[in-house]
Copies of this chain bind each other. A is one copy, B any other.
Amino acid sequence: MGRVRKGEREWLAAYDPRAFPPFAVTVDMVLLTVTEGRFSVLLVERDTHPFRGFIALPGGFVQPDEDLDAAAVRRLELETGVRRSAAYVEQLGAFGAPSRDPRMRVVSVAYLVFAPDLPAPRPGAGARSVAWVPVDTVQRDRLAFDHAHVLAAGVERARAKLEYTPLAAAFCDEELTVADLRRVYEAVWGVALDPRNFHRKVTGTPGFLDPVGRPAPVGPEGGRPAALYRRGRATQLHPAMLRPSR
């Protein structure tokens, strides 16, 4: 495990790890995207006990020498094929009520992931099926463990993050239009935004979007082609993007 400092070797030799109460540690992923205009979460149907037949957030046990973040990224790539670089990943928090897993004492470290629109992934080990489910249609009483609670925390955190960070672009492809970005805000917040004020706001906030200098192909509805942008280098939005009705 860790580095041992001078003078501690003898003491460590006499140390018994079993003196500490044993826990299992898992990572669970709140993996969010916007697909077909819906703010959606990746859910699996469990094929093994406990909670067999229930739906759940993808996740699994952390290995003995594996960093928590690394375990999350490994699961992400394993279950969805999403590479870390193509998504935004941050820790959501630890969930560790004593009764959350019937098997034994488990602490789950939840991760929040923003991914661009992807083809539906194929089921991995322990899962019967896997699908993107719009967050407002999730049947909370069919969720395994305390995943309804974890999901609610992730959704609320995501909504708040869009206010003061430029992370909405993490739901889009590398090259995006202002309308792409606006549709992310509208899906995540569940509101309609004025396209004109939105345009002025995001193009006027330094570091939010960098122009590519090339127009996007015209969409199925026709209309003037939109300019393409890439994510800027800002990490915070100043001033913040305000969520209506608060």
Q: Is A66 close to B, CB under 8 A?
A: yes
Closest to A26 in B: B20
Contacting residues, chain B, for A107 (C-beta < 8 A): 23, 25, 68, 94, 107, 109
Tally of contact residues, A, Cβ under 8 A: 47
From A56-64, A120-128, A216-224, give the one contacting chain B. Answer: A56-64
**Copies per assembly:** 2
**Is there a chain B Cβ closer than 8 Å to A119's Cβ?**
no
Question: Which residues 84-102 of A sit at the B interface, judged by CB distance below 8 A?
Answer: 91, 93-102
Looking at A3, A17, A104, the one whose CB has the most chain B CB atoms below 10 A away is A104
A141 CB within 8 Å of chain B: no
Bound: A12/B1 CA distance, A: 31
Which A residues lie at the B interface, using CB under 8 A? 1-5, 8, 11-12, 15, 17, 20-25, 49-51, 61-68, 91, 93-105, 107, 109, 236, 238, 240, 246
Q: How far is the CA of A140 from the CA of B65 in the complex (A)?
A: 26
Residues of the B chain whose Cβ atoms lie less than 8 Å from the Cβ of A11: 49
